[in-house]
Structure 1
Amino acid sequence: MRQRFTARAVVVGDRAGTVVPDAVVDVDDGRISWVGPADDAPPAGDAATVAVPGVLAPGMVNTHSHAPMVLFRGQAEGLPLERWLREVIWPREGRLTPDDVEVAMTAASAEMLRGGVTTSVEMYFSPERIAAAVGRTGARAVIATPLLPLPGMPPLADQLRDAVALAAGVPEDGTVEYGLGPHAAYTVPLPVLRDAAAAAREHGLLFHLHVAETASEGAGLLATHGLSVPALLAAHDVLGGRVLAAHCVHMDDGDLELWREYDVAVAHCPASNAKLASGVARVRAMLDRGIRVGLGTDGPASNDGLDLLADVRLAAQLARLAERSATALTAAEAFWLATGAAADAIGRPDLGQLAAGRRADLVHVDTRDLLFEPVGDPGDLLTHLVWSGASRLVRDVWVGGRPVVRDGACTTVDAEALRADVANRAARLAGR
């Protein structure tokens, strides 16, 4: 199938913030074959033409999510992370069923698609049901099967064996990819982390874990081993390969140098970190060292949303406050963290930018709104998108050229029925 998209402008999703006015995007069999000004476009031939009146942007990539936690949205308000997990979230998760996970993930996936997020990295229980959910909505997911020593769960060695087996034999269509998701060094023993990292490297899997989210989480490990968590991971051969570390808030210069040395990518979650008062990650210092960084929402119980475009703006604001500099993170860089940089952070060069050879995950943002005025030059469209844009202006979304959102509504699932189903299941899990 050949398609030609025409738009007021294309936002490429690169670090430079390239905006192409009066643009054309050609798609062949789900991949982009050409992008550029309409005046330079090759003949359309038999391509089906799709004209959008606003901006075309890349589908955003959410680098860290526990999306089925829509079941716990807004719960445990005001608690710090450790109490939030142990007193409220983990007890309720102990009552989860695989059906709960699939329904919740389906609803969350539809929510993300309506906000222009076409790919998410998920670390949650029942990974096969998460895959089934995104199969229904038409989104993409990299599913890091969790490894966590909770009551009622199999031994960690068995969890690891099953997770590696699950990752084998997945069709290479770019829709679903499995990885390994040991929770953190303070919950998963170091020998298990080492074995999981070795398995991830052997099979080319994404290895995803939480690191340095709070100031105190590594205190016990530091007292026992005399090393920070990043240094401890390096010393135990956990780093190397496709490692994606979530949060990385409390990192000193030595820790960041280890991340640079081992090419560890960071999933930066500004809204979750702010809500739980965990701190502000040193994004400028990471980028200046060449560390790969992508934006994530974290779970919708700690954000409390899945609106990555809102997190784009917050990431830029917090970086500027932390550095006391209005240039600490530009609008172009902030949007790049949710698109091209996010794709790089998860090791998926087929996603995140509107460029030839990449998958045709396209987002139409309607610019016929006062939020997008005035426009003196094409770059203003990107600036407005970051500083005053809103996910409600996402009108249409295509994944691999397939329409999944039309006129602001998900076309693949019944969002209202899912909302009611999630509400009923959340009440049961809360004991109401």
Structure 2
Amino acid sequence: MTQRFTARAVVVGDRAGTVVPDAVLDVEDGVITWVGPAAEAPPSDAEVVALPGVLVPGMVNTHSHAPMVLFRGQGEGLPLDRWLREVMWPREAKLTPEDVEVAMTAASAEMLRHGVTTSVEMYFQPERIASAVRRTGARSIVANPLIGLPGFGTFDEQLATAVGLAASSDAQVEYGIGPHSAYTVPLPVLRDAGVAAREHGLLLTVHVAETATEGDDLLAEHGVSVPQLLSSHDVLGGRVLANHCVHMDDADLELWREHDVAVAHCPGSNTKLASGTARLRDMLDLGIRVGMGTDGPASNDNLDLFEDLRLAAQLARLRERDALALTAPEAFWLATGAAAAAVDRPDLGQLEAGRRADLVHVDTDDIAFTPVGDITDLVTHLVWSVGSRHVRDTWVAGRRVVRDGVSTTVDEAELRAQVQQRGMRLAREAG
């Protein structure tokens, strides 16, 4: 199947903030084959999709627990440790596989409407999550969690499940390993997870230094920080994605640089839970790969990367007291090209030949896109002026999964009703 998209402009999603005006983008069998100005486009008899706005890359959400839409808004005002132990974990212990699949389907449709085409999910029932993603037409890296909660098997069983699923990975659904954290998973299990991830080429994603005090017991016992513990226990060295990384000193960041550990930066969750502000500028200056993440919809409380990338820029500038600490092109790149690089998916995140045709049409017929004195103003407006409400259409591998702001693959009204019913049941059962 061949398609030709025309648009007011294409925003490539690279660090420089490249914008192609009066653009043409060609797709064949779900892969981009050409991008450039209309005046230079090669001859084509492909079906033409004429779009009045701008085309941007499908965003990559590097850290999500999307089925937690079932718990959105619950535990409001609690710090992270109490929020987890008193509200989230008791409810999660009552989850059924059907709960997870329904919730993930609803959340996946929500993300697609927001222009997020790929998410890294760390949650229970990985095969149900994969089924939901395939139903909506999105992409996901599904990391089977390792965590010591009742009803989810032993650590060995959880790791075996993660490794066993690896053979089922494809371009749409890739499986990985998700040990929750060093304070909830024994260090020998983390070591085994790191070895298994390297052996099978899997993404290993783990929470690190989210709060100032979560590593205190480990520090008292071992005398070193969690990043240093992960290094000394052979967890690092493969495809490691560390989530949050708010409380990192210079030595910790140097370890991340040395081992090429990527970071999922989640400013929305970090501010809502009062976890702190990550050293984003320092990470980027060290060459650490960073991508934007929303975290779960119970701790953000949404799945809208437009909001997080804007907040990332604001917090970086405030932390550094420098209006140039994070530019608009860099902020948008953190949700697109940089996020794809953070999860080792060079086939995603940018609109260039050879990458997959995950496309988002953003409506520019709005006062938020006015004025445009220079074509690069479009990137500035995308970061500072507009939001997911301006997303009109979304394609994954050239397949339209959102049309005029409405899912083409699932009934969102029915899913909302299901999430309401199941969420209330879980709250009752957890007491």
* TM-score using structure 1 length: 0.99
Q: In structure 1, give the amino acid aligned to 2:98.
A: D
Residue of structure 1 equivalent to 2:36: 36
Contact 2:126 2:142 in 1 (8 A): yes
Query: Does 1:404 pair with 2:401?
Result: yes
Residue of structure 2 equivalent to 1:365: 362
Give runs of ≥4 in structure 1 deviating > 4 Å: none
Matches within 5 A, 1:380-391: 380-391=377-388
Matches within 5 A, 1:171-210: 172=170, 174-210=171-207
Query: What secondary structure is seen at the aligned counterpart in 2 of 1:125?
Result: coil
Residue of structure 1 equivalent to 2:324: 327
2: CA distance, partners of 1:20 / 1:400: 21
Contact 2:144 2:161 in 1 (8 A): no
Query: Does 1:213 pair with 2:219?
Result: no
Residue of structure 2 equivalent to 1:141: 140
1: CA distance, partners of 2:5 / 2:157: 48
Residue of structure 1 equivalent to 2:112: 113
2: CA distance, partners of 1:357 / 1:241: 25
| Residue 390 of structure 1: how far off its partner (Å) | 1.4
2: CA distance, partners of 1:115 / 1:364: 11
2: CA distance, partners of 1:232 / 1:147: 18
Query: Does 1:310 pair with 2:307?
Result: yes
| Residue 169 of structure 1: how far off its partner (Å) | 3.3
2: CA distance, partners of 1:165 / 1:71: 28
Residue of structure 2 equivalent to 1:159: 158
Residues 50-96 of structure 1: CA deviation (Å, up to 9, x unaligned):
00000000000000000000000001000000000000000001111
Q: In structure 1, give the amino acid aligned to 2:221.
A: T
Q: In structure 2, give the amino acid aligned to 1:371.
A: A
Q: In structure 1, give the amino acid aligned to 2:138.
A: A
Q: In structure 2, give the amino acid aligned to 1:341.
A: A
2: CA distance, partners of 1:161 / 1:117: 30
Query: What secondary structure is seen at the aligned counterpart in 2 of 1:168?
Result: helix
| Residue 265 of structure 1: how far off its partner (Å) | 0.0
Residues 96-143 of structure 1: CA deviation (Å, up to 9, x unaligned):
100000000000000000000000000000000000001110000000
| Residue 152 of structure 1: how far off its partner (Å) | 2.3
Residue of structure 1 equivalent to 2:339: 342
2: CA distance, partners of 1:411 / 1:153: 34
Residue of structure 2 equivalent to 1:21: 21
2: CA distance, partners of 1:12 / 1:280: 28
Residue of structure 2 equivalent to 1:225: 222
Residues 386-427 of structure 1: CA deviation (Å, up to 9, x unaligned):
001111110000000000000010100000110111000011
Contiguous gaps of at least 5 residues in structure 2: none
Q: In structure 2, give the amino acid aligned to 1:35.
A: V
Matches within 5 A, 1:239-318: 239-318=236-315
Q: In structure 2, give the amino acid aligned to 1:230.
A: P
Q: In structure 2, give the amino acid aligned to 1:88.
A: V
Q: In structure 1, give the amino acid aligned to 2:290.
A: V
Q: In structure 2, give the amino acid aligned to 1:130.
A: I
| Residue 154 of structure 1: how far off its partner (Å) | 1.4
Residues 248-276 of structure 1: CA deviation (Å, up to 9, x unaligned):
00000100000000000000000000000
Query: What secondary structure is seen at the aligned counterpart in 2 of 1:8?
Result: strand
1: CA distance, partners of 2:409 / 2:68: 21
2: CA distance, partners of 1:269 / 1:225: 28
Aligned residues: CA RMSD: 0.7
Query: Does 1:4 pair with 2:1?
Result: no
Query: Does 1:76 pair with 2:75?
Result: yes
Residues 263-321 of structure 1: CA deviation (Å, up to 9, x unaligned):
00000000000000000000000000000000000000000000111111000001100
1: CA distance, partners of 2:251 / 2:43: 54
Query: Does 1:417 pair with 2:414?
Result: yes
1: CA distance, partners of 2:134 / 2:228: 39
1: CA distance, partners of 2:152 / 2:24: 51
Query: What secondary structure is seen at the aligned counterpart in 2 of 1:431?
Result: helix
2: CA distance, partners of 1:399 / 1:252: 39
2: CA distance, partners of 1:429 / 1:158: 25
Q: In structure 2, give the amino acid aligned to 1:388.
A: S
1: CA distance, partners of 2:116 / 2:371: 26
* TM-score using structure 2 length: 0.99
Q: In structure 1, give the amino acid aligned to 2:11.
A: V
* Percentage of pairs with the same residue: 76
| Residue 162 of structure 1: how far off its partner (Å) | 1.7
1: CA distance, partners of 2:120 / 2:34: 28
